[in-house]
Amino acid sequence: MTETLHRPEETWPLEPPRGPHPGPGGAAARLAVALAAFLAVHLVLRAVASPGGGGMVGSKREHFALAAERYDTVFLGSSHVYRSFVPAEFDRVLAEHGVASSSYNFGIQLPNQAELHYLLRETLAAANGRLRRVFVQYQALTPQVDPEQAFIPRNVYWHDLEDTALSIERSWAIDSSAPGGIRLAPDPKRRHAILAILERMLPSRFYLARQHFQHLVKREAMVARAKDVARGLLGRPHGMTGMWGRTRGYLSLEDAGRSLAEEGNERNSILRRREAFLAGHDDWLAHIGRLRTEDVVWGDQEWMNAEVERFSDLEFYRRMVEDARQVGVEIVVVVMPSNSCDRPFEARMETELGVPVLRFDRPDDYPQFYDPELRFDSGHLTAAGAVEFTRVFAKEYLSLSRGG
């Protein structure tokens, strides 16, 4: 076959069929053999692959999978969590008050709520009963539906059957309940493509459901996981896995910026964010002023995926609370000192889910976290700010757990 396909000066058709086509039974048998071989190879690859999700997420997952027994406390959330909780400081404050703790910062950049649910489930499973408490951030982030980013590992890895089903179900519910549905920006490259036009005629929940389903298929087929398989085969962890063992998942923005600068990227995006923040500080303060007077304020627009209107969906939190409580893990929702708020939703989490909510989004109560001394940029704290925040947070938590 190969010979005929590549024989120089040979023209198509390659070769005549050698005999009659197999009957339906024969074709089914050949298909079964192909499927069996596919499955055999697939299962081997799956067994050796290291955790997916891309660099930082993969490495944090890998570290936790390897060292889950070391931790009894996990902080789960976005980069706000990642840059704000210093596990060593949290454990120190709790120890001072006679409470044992060994914590891990599982903050990752730009998660959406379904992704957090997946990570919580994975964390609970890996900890195997050792976990005592988990702090989950409340932050309204959107599903990732940017066509340019649709199939990056980060958007695919968490689409197991349960979270794909949940995502589809919630896309359906949210689209139906939101006035005018979820608004999808058309992909400019496919504005005149007939299939895209037909798709736009349907409610956007169909689009979202299709995309979540594609993610599930890609995840289960291990599409584009070559690096993870190679790492697994060679026994090489993700680049940052070792570092998380030392820092327990925390890295300050200053350290990250310095590290990039040492690699030759002196004008890196982290340091530029700081400069931009200081330059536009007055505007930012004006925006923060709205947190004092308004119940709902959206900030951090530059992070947001403009494809879909942002939303807060209680269902994701309900599932998280149920999953944690089912295995006897204490769950607390944290609202970080961010520049946005949705106070009615925060209240609903307390009243409808019965979950304690620790709120730090009130500049009057915590003015220090809105001061450039402790604030690195519009959304994150400095290294000193992270230590201070962790200290304040730990005390608030202790007060809460003692019924204060």
Partner 1 sequence: MIFTESRFLIFFAVAFCVYWVLPRNRPRKICLLALSYVFYASWDWRFLWLILISTGVDYVAGLWLERAAESGPRKRLVALSLVVNLGFLWWFKYYNFFVDAGVGLLDLLGWEGDRERLHLNIILPVGISFYTFQTLSYTIDVYRRKMRAVSSFLDFALFVTFFPQLVAGPIVRATHFIPQLAAKKLFRDVNVRACLTLFFFGFFKKAVVSDNIAPITDQVFADPGLHDTLSNWIAVLMWHVQEYCDFSGYSDMAIATAGLLGYELPLNFNFPYFARNISDFWRRWHITLSTWFRDYLYVTIGGSKGGVYRGIMTGCVTMLLVGVWHGAGWQHAGFGLLMCGAIIVARLWSEWVPKGSRLRRTATLLGPLLINYFLFINWIVFRAESWDKCMDQFRIFFFLGGAGPQSVDPRWILLFVAFAAVQIVLFYRLYPKAITRLNDYAWAAVIGGATALVLVLMATDYQPFVYFHF
> Taking CB under 8 A as the rule, does residue 5 contact partner 1?
yes
Near partner 1 in 8-37, by CB under 8 A: 8-17, 20-22, 26, 29-31, 33-37
Q: Which is nearer to partner 1, 3 or 373 (CB)?
A: 3
Task: Give, in order, the Cα–Cα distances in Å from 247 to each of 82, 214, 251, 334, 391.
Answer: 11, 36, 7, 21, 17
Contact 349, 138 (CB under 8 A): yes
**142-157 as b/e: b if 16+ CB within 10 A:** bbbbbbeebeebbbbb
- Convert residues 223-252 into a mask of x (bound to partner 1 by CB under 8 A) and - (unbound): xxxx--x-----------------------
Binding to partner 1 by CB under 8 A, coded x per residue (else -) over 256-275, reads --------x-----------
Q: In the complex, what is the shortest distance from the CB of residue 268 to partner 1, in angstroms, rounded to a whole number?
A: 15
Single residue of 47, 195, 201, 286 touching partner 1 by CB under 8 A: 195
What six digits make up the tokens of 291?
């947190």
Tell me how far, at minimum, the Cβ of 200 lies from partner 1, in Å. Answer: 13
What are phi and psi for residue 86, nearest 5 degrees? -100, 105
Nearer to partner 1, 1 or 201 (CB): 1
- Establish if 47 lies at the interface with partner 1 (CB under 8 A): no
Asked if 183 interacts with partner 1 (CB under 8 A), we say: no
Q: Using only the alpha carbons of the chain, give its radius of gyration.
A: 25
Please give the size of the binding site for partner 1, defined by CB under 8 A.
Answer: 53
Nearest-angstrom CA–CA distance, 3 and 110 = 51
Q: What is the number of alpha carbons within 13 Å of residue 371 lying toward its C-beta?
A: 12
Residue 39 is a binding residue for partner 1 (CB under 8 A): yes
CB–CB of 248/87 below 8 Å?
Answer: yes
Query: d(Cα 86, Cα 105) in Å, to the nearest integer?
Result: 7
Position 192 contacts partner 1 (CB under 8 A): yes
Binding site for partner 1 (CB under 8 A): 1-6, 8-17, 20-22, 26, 29-31, 33-42, 45, 150-153, 192-195, 197, 214, 217, 221-226, 229, 264
